[in-house]
């Protein structure tokens, strides 16, 4: 099949590379000329394990090409897969301007029958809007099909997730595109879920809202554990062994961040509010998340009441390990709060050198802690768990470790003379 993937970001690039590897002929386009130039020369702008190799292989085999000729590519390919960004607006609703741009191009260039697949996460009603918009612009309904095909990959394991999906969701208005859609993902062994355009959009939002709810639930339980001097890890283990609950997304910590959960929760709330539906649960989930950083800084305040003029090293900048994505990272929100309190902040992350005023960013993990009063672990990179704690201790001025991810062994660091504060312990 000949497919044009629009948007060369985390979703677009990983999807384009995988579809090419499935044997399809894929053209991946983006308005970002610099990104496309780099990709055409073999430079992959994001870190995703295995992606560079997969792109290289499929470029060399001639199945994957990159272009900034967005209009011409959309015109020339029969299957258009939209993977542009849908970032949040100030009011929490989704900014759909990139989606609108792509739809305008489709409408103005379409000559033969096309299948237009929306992979971007879009609010309920968006794909119906796309359909109506194309009809209003004079397109005959026989000339196109709209498909809502939300993406569930996780950054850091994106390729594995695309190859081993637990479901493939297709929202359609008719059965006409189904044969082609099944061919598109013929290599992925997963149950198909067919629903309406809006049903597919809501499956995506409901999934992310549920995951966010589990995280806020875990965080509230960890606060209760703190108050009763109980180790939350035991509670998580007890909860996770129950198959009705499941063990995933029960880790307590700094709260959820990244470019998906916070924005999708806000967009879902916005969509509900527009239809006058109250969202008491979603509101509580957000409220807990919004106070997680304050909760941890209060915890640090119990041993170090004044953070002004203290030197604090924060390990971890990305919103989770295994990615270079620091969009809406709780680690950065924490750093900003420390700066507001007058602390001098050092940071170290294996993937990201944070460029932020008043922050000293280090390329070496050990140098970053030199003369620091406190070490805060904000992202659970594996190398933090395996580090040489006696070296860290010898370089630091103070002895406090705040582990907001419970990822290091408290006993080990206490033996080195640290005062260790963790989650729910
Ligand atoms: N990142 C994830 O983990 C993830 C997972 C599931 C779903 N999603 C959803 O997928 C969508 C894309 O997310 P992402 O993280 O890949 O975004 P991204 O910001 O990494 O990439 C978006 C790309 O689209 C390009 N673009 C914007 N407007 C364009 C246009 N008019 N024509 C061509 N290209 C254009 C941008 O230049 C950018 O390269 C979003 O709706 C997101 O919510 C993301």
- Condensed to tens digits (0 to 9), the pLDDT of residues 181-231 reads 999 988 777 999 999 999 999 999 999 999 999 999 999 999 999 999 999
Task: Report the nearest-CA residue for atom 33 of ligand 1.
Answer: 30
Q: What is the pLDDT of residues 71-105, one digit of tens each?
A: 999 999 999 999 999 999 999 999 999 999 999 99
- The verdict on 160 and 260 lying in the same domain is no
What is the per-residue pLDDT for 394? 98
C-alpha 4 to ligand 1 mean position (Å): 14
C-beta 102 within 6 A of ligand 1: yes
CATH number of the structural domain spanning residue 223: 1.10.1040.10
| Helix 232-240 with 197-228: angle, nearest 10 deg | 140
- The verdict on 250 and 348 lying in the same domain is no
C-beta 32 within 6 A of ligand 1: yes
- The verdict on 345 and 242 lying in the same domain is no
C-beta 88 within 6 A of ligand 1: no
Nearest atom in ligand 1 to the alpha carbon of residue 46 is 20
Q: What is the average pLDDT across 126-138?
A: 96
Task: Report the nearest-CA residue for atom 31 of ligand 1.
Answer: 98
Report the mean per-residue pLDDT for the chain. 96
User: Can you tell me the distance from the alpha carbon of 423 to that of 150, in angstroms, rounded to the nearest whole number?
Assistant: 34
Q: Which of 195, 212, 240 is the last residue of a domain?
A: 195
- The verdict on 250 and 372 lying in the same domain is no
C-alpha 8 to ligand 1 mean position (Å): 7
The active-site residue, picked from 225, 260, 387, 407, is 260
Task: Report the nearest-CA residue for atom 13 of ligand 1.
Answer: 85
C-alpha 83 to ligand 1 mean position (Å): 5
Q: What is the pLDDT of residues 394-406, one digit of tens each?
A: 999 999 999 999 9
- The verdict on 253 and 272 lying in the same domain is yes
- The verdict on 144 and 244 lying in the same domain is no
Q: Which of 237, 267, 290 is the last residue of a domain?
A: 290
C-beta 380 within 6 A of ligand 1: no
C-beta 8 within 6 A of ligand 1: yes
C-alpha 107 to ligand 1 mean position (Å): 21
C-beta 155 within 6 A of ligand 1: yes
C-beta 159 within 6 A of ligand 1: no
- The verdict on 257 and 352 lying in the same domain is no
Structural domain boundaries enclosing 43: 2-195
User: Can you tell me the distance from the alpha carbon of 402 to that of 307, in angstroms, rounded to the nearest whole number?
Assistant: 13
C-beta 28 within 6 A of ligand 1: no
Q: Which of 122, 151, 320 to mutate to test the pocket of ligand 1 (most atoms within 8 A of CB)?
A: 151
- The verdict on 126 and 218 lying in the same domain is no
CATH number of the structural domain spanning residue 312: 3.40.50.720
Give φ, ψ of 28 to 5 degrees: -105, 125
User: Can you tell me the distance from the alpha carbon of 372 to that of 393, in angstroms, rounded to the nearest whole number?
Assistant: 10
Q: What is the average pLDDT across 399-418?
A: 96
User: Can you tell me the distance from the alpha carbon of 260 to that of 327, in angstroms, rounded to the nearest whole number?
Assistant: 9
- The verdict on 141 and 117 lying in the same domain is yes
Q: Which of 290, 321, 355 is the last residue of a domain?
A: 290
What is the per-residue pLDDT for 393? 98
Q: What is the average pLDDT across 349-360?
A: 95
What is the per-residue pLDDT for 425? 75
Task: Report the nearest-CA residue for atom 25 of ligand 1.
Answer: 7
The residue assigned the tokens 């609108």 is 100
What is the per-residue pLDDT for 424? 80
Q: Among 144-148, 231-235, 334-338, which is the least confidently predicted range? A: 231-235
- The verdict on 266 and 327 lying in the same domain is no
The answer to whether residues 44 and 151 touch, using CB atoms and an 8 Å cutoff, is: no
Give φ, ψ of 226 to 5 degrees: -55, -45
C-beta 30 within 6 A of ligand 1: yes
User: How many domains is the chain partitioned into structurally?
Assistant: 3
What is the per-residue pLDDT for 24? 97
Percent of the chain predicted with pLDDT > 70: 100
C-alpha 369 to ligand 1 mean position (Å): 36
- The verdict on 341 and 243 lying in the same domain is no
Q: Which of 6, 8, 9 to mutate to test the pocket of ligand 1 (most atoms within 8 A of CB)?
A: 9
The question of whether 4 is a catalytic residue gets the answer no
- The verdict on 186 and 209 lying in the same domain is no
């Amino acid at each position: 099949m000949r497919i044009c993937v629009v948007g060369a970001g985390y979703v677009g690039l990983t999807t384009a590379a995988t579809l090419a590897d499935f044997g399809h002929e894929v053209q991946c386009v983006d308005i970002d000329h610099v990104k496309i130039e780099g990709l055409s020369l073999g430079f992959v702008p994001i870190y995703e394990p295995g992606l560079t190799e997969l792109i290289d292989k499929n470029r060399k085999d001639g199945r994957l090409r990159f272009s900034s000729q967005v209009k011409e590519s959309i015109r020339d390919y029969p299957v258009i897969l939209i993977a542009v960004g849908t970032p949040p607006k100030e009011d929490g609703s989704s900014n759909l301007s990139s989606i609108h741009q792509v739809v305008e191009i489709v409408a103005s260039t379409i000559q033969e029958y096309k299948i237009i697949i929306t992979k971007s996460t879009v609010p309920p009603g968006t794909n119906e809007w796309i359909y109506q918009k194309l009809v209003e612009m004079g397109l005959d309904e026989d000339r196109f099909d709209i498909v809502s095909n939300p993406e569930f990959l996780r950054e850091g394991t994106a390729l594995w997730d695309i190859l081993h999906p637990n479901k493939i969701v297709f929202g359609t208005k008719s059965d006409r595109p189904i044969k082609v859609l099944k061919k598109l993902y013929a290599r992925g062994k997963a149950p198909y879920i067919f629903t309406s355009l809006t049903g597919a959009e809501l499956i995506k939002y409901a999934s992310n809202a549920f995951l966010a709810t589990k995280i806020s639930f875990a965080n509230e339980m960890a606060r209760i554990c703190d108050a009763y001097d109980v180790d939350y890890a035991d509670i998580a283990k007890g909860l996770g062994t129950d198959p009705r609950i499941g063990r995933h997304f029960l880790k307590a910590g700094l709260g959820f961040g990244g470019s998906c959960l916070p924005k999708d929760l806000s967009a879902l709330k916005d969509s509900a509010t527009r239809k006058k539906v109250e969202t008491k649960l979603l509101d509580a989930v957000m409220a807990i998340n919004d106070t997680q950083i304050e909760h941890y800084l209060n915890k640090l305040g119990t041993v170090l009441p004044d953070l002004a003029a203290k030197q604090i090293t924060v390990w971890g900048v990305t919103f989770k390990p295994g990615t270079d994505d620091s969009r809406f990272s709780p680690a950065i929100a924490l750093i900003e709060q420390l700066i507001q309190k007058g602390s001098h902040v050092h940071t170290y992350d294996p993937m990201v050198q944070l460029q932020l005023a008043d922050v000293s960013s280090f390329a070496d993990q050990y140098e970053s802690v030199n003369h620091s009063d406190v070490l805060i672990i904000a992202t659970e990179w594996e190398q933090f768990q395996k580090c040489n704690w006696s070296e860290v201790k010898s370089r630091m001025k103070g002895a406090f470790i705040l582990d907001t991810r419970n990822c290091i062994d408290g006993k080990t660091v206490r033996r080195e003379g640290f005062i260790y504060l963790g989650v729910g312990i």
